[in-house]
Amino acid sequence: MYELLIIAVFVATLAVVALRPQRADAHCDTMEGPTAKDGVRALESADLDHALKWIAPDGETELREVFERSLAARKLGPEAQEVADRWFLENLVRIHRAGEGAAFTGLLPAGTPVEEKVAAADRSVDEGDLRPLAGLIPTERWPELERRFAKVLEHRDYDPHDMDAARAYVEAYVNFFKFAEGHDHDHAHAHAGHGHGH
């Protein structure tokens, strides 16, 4: 029964995505975004902790149920695994976005265009260096960008099973990305009892 529900949701999701413009509304709306990447890690390891840091506490129960059903459906064969994985990732990002008070209309494929500053900020985090953002951020904003980036680096080597540490990283990451995009205010992490946007 669960696998039929998963397939129905997946087909409905594909219909929505097919009708929407192929540009991400937010970084985390794509398969290349950090939320989906952590979701894939969770599925491959059968350990939800890798993805749970992106979810507010009031969304944890729902995500755990989706995760358990997805793991069960993955055992039914390659096609069922593909559908189950997509269903889990769609729900992971949807619940994450809901925790931000943001709309979600579907998870877009790898290669979907994102804003240049976002792509550069991604490279900066991956490389541990702000040089990819050089020339994209006004000079007067650079000291604050450096401060926020230092916070990301400070928290990046967290234990995925230490949810406080993992969520502290997400908070630093979101604050850095929002500033790089041109938003001046801090986005305290929803999972720590506050709200954040990403």
Beta bridge partners of 30: 108
- Per-residue pLDDT 10s for the chain (198 aa) are 555 555 545 545 444 443 444 444 456 788 988 999 999 999 999 999 999 999 988 999 999 999 999 999 999 999 999 999 999 999 999 999 888 777 888 888 888 888 889 889 999 999 999 999 999 999 999 999 999 999 999 999 999 999 999 999 998 998 999 899 887 655 544 443 333 345
* Nearest CA-CA partner of 31 in 99, 82, 66: 82
Query: CA 124 → CA 111, 131, 146, distances in Å?
Result: 18, 7, 11
pTM of the predicted structure, to 2 decimals: 0.77
Tokens of residue 186, six digits: 């801090």
* Residue whose tokens read 């949701």: 9
